[in-house]
Amino acid sequence: MLPELTPSGYVFRDVAEARSLSEPPDGPTAEQWLELAVRHDIVIVGVGVELLTEDVNLEHFGHELFALVEQFGCRRVVVNLKEVRMVTSAGLGKMITMHRKMHRHQGTVIFCHLQEAVEDVLTTSRLITYLQVTPDVATALAALPKAP
């Protein structure tokens, strides 16, 4: 979900209409979301790609996740994988690295809303019990430890 398009309802005739209805990336909706994240010390990451593979999207995925911990000091993160249909071993590596970085910084990352193929990969690799996984965002939020 893109905060700059939230007020639109996400229904458009074409790209031009989407652009005309969008807020700037640092607009009021994104600002409200950031304020809520800071106030509640929680970041919810929505992954907007279908395939976490060795492509550029995988490097970007890892870079963005790791920056949350290392650059911005986030300690309670939920990663919503609802849009992700497939993840390769390299994608699993990014998830494991994020889990370890959060653990080293006394934080928690929860991966949620797994598609069947992604859940199968995590189950087969036995990572389903290593990583913290929940069925949806609400369950993930409830499972996060309370902020200090």
Residue 69 tokens read as 């911990």
Q: What is the pTM of this model?
A: 0.76
d(C-alpha 88, C-alpha 126), whole Å? 14
R_g of the chain computed on alpha carbons: 16
* Confidence bin at 73 (pLDDT 50/70/90): confident
Which uninterrupted H or E stretch holds 2? none
Q: What is the pLDDT of residue 79?
A: 93
Chain mean pLDDT for the chain: 83
3-class secondary-structure state, position 43:
strand
Q: Which residue has the tokens 């797994």?
A: 114
3-class secondary-structure state, position 27:
coil
Side-chain-facing half-sphere of 12: CA atoms under 13 Å: 14
Q: What is the pLDDT of residue 1?
A: 43
Query: Tens of pLDDT along 15-40?
Result: 787 777 777 766 776 676 667 666 77
Of 69, 67, 72, 77, the closest CA to residue 147 belongs to: 77
Which uninterrupted H or E stretch holds 148? none
Alpha helix stretches (DSSP H) within 45-88: 56-70
Contact indicator for 46, 81 with CB cutoff of 8 Å: no
- Domains of the chain plus CATH, in order, are 1-35 (no CATH), 42-148 (3.30.750.24)
Side-chain-facing half-sphere of 144: CA atoms under 13 Å: 26
pLDDT at 63 over 60: yes
Which uninterrupted H or E stretch holds 6? none
